[in-house]
Structure formats: structure tokens, C-alpha cells
Amino acid sequence: MAISSICFIRHGQTDWNKQGRLQGKTDIPLNDTGRKQAEACGKFLNAADYDVLICSPLQRAKETAQIINLHLILPLIEMDDFKERSFGDAEGMTMEERQRAYPNGSFPSQEKREEFNQRVMTGLEKINKKFPNKRILLVAHGAVINAILAEISNGEIGSGKTILMNGCISNIRFKEKTWEIQNYNQVRHLN
């Protein structure tokens, strides 16, 4: 039986990541560290292990994917389903600023968690239907990858529990009609 697999890569670091600012849909570019992380991913990954590279259209994910793809030369597809969650009025704020302004943790105008999770999981289904039995490399965002990990693990890891590092690698595979997590938040390649 053929197996579909997805290797997730969280985009490289941005200045807002470094400053602890919530990015969400704000379109922030990679910084030099982020470009080095993307380069390390590209050198670590083997083109023969993947069939297609998919990324969020936000520039931090897209640039990470493009740098990786200099090494892999795979078909590159952008998918809106994997854009970061919109955090509304809290975008650009540090943790301290968010806690002061919104002590209840509810940010005005943010994308509702249920809608965000639905969008991301619909994207996963689209990939599974469009690329059956293919090996996918997917460059996305922390909340996106965590939403998928939380869904697959029934909340054991992921959203609210797992802090994914910039440039980390996580792997899932589709076997016997269900997704399973192979590993997550792998960063050895960045050292």
C-alpha cells in the first residue's frame, strides 16, 4: 500500500520572531538568521525523498521554500489554506503588550480558532486528494503546523502545548485512512 507523507517546515526567523511579536497574517520577511535556517533545511533535505513543495503565500514562508528549493528543484505550489492565523488587533504586539491590552487572551478581529482549524485541515484534505501517494514538503507557520499536530494527536501536542522552533521539521504520514505523527519540532539540522 502506498503511503502519502508530509514533511512540515516552519519558516525561518523574522525580526518579529526575534522580538517576540505576534505576526499572524502580517507579511514580514525573513531576517539573515531565517535565511540561514532555510539554507540549512535545504542542505539537510534530500530531493529524492519528495515529489512536490507547497508553501503559504506569506513572504516568510515563501522565501523559506524558495531557498530550500534551490537545493531540491521541486515543483513549487502556493496554497492560501496554509497562511498563518490572523490574530487581529494583537498582531505586532509582544507577549507583555498582549497581556496588558487583552488580559483575557481574546484579541479583537482575530480569526476564530474553529474556522482556522477547519481551513488548515481542509488544506490537508486537498493535498491528500490532489497528490495521492506523494511525498509532500510543506513550508508553513507555527500555528498552522500546531493546529495539524493537535488535530492528529487529539490534543496531546500542538496548539497551546508545543512551541515550534523556526526552521524545525515535523513529519506525518497517511496510512490506513488516517494521519499519524512520525516526529515533530526536529532541529538537529540547524546546528
**Among this protein's residues, is 84 annotated catalytic?**
yes
**Among this protein's residues, is 11 annotated catalytic?**
yes
Strands 135-140 and 76-78: unpaired
Please pick, among 11, 63, 91, 141, the residue that the annotation labels catalytic.
11
Contacts of 139 by beta carbon, 8 Å cutoff, 6+ apart = 8, 9, 10, 11, 53, 54, 55, 56, 61, 62, 64, 65, 68
How far is Cα 10 from Cα 145, in angstroms, rounded to an integer? 8
Please pick, among 39, 63, 71, 84, the residue that the annotation labels catalytic.
84
Q: Are 31 and 13 in contact (CB under 8 A)?
A: yes
Q: Which residues are catalytic?
A: 11, 84
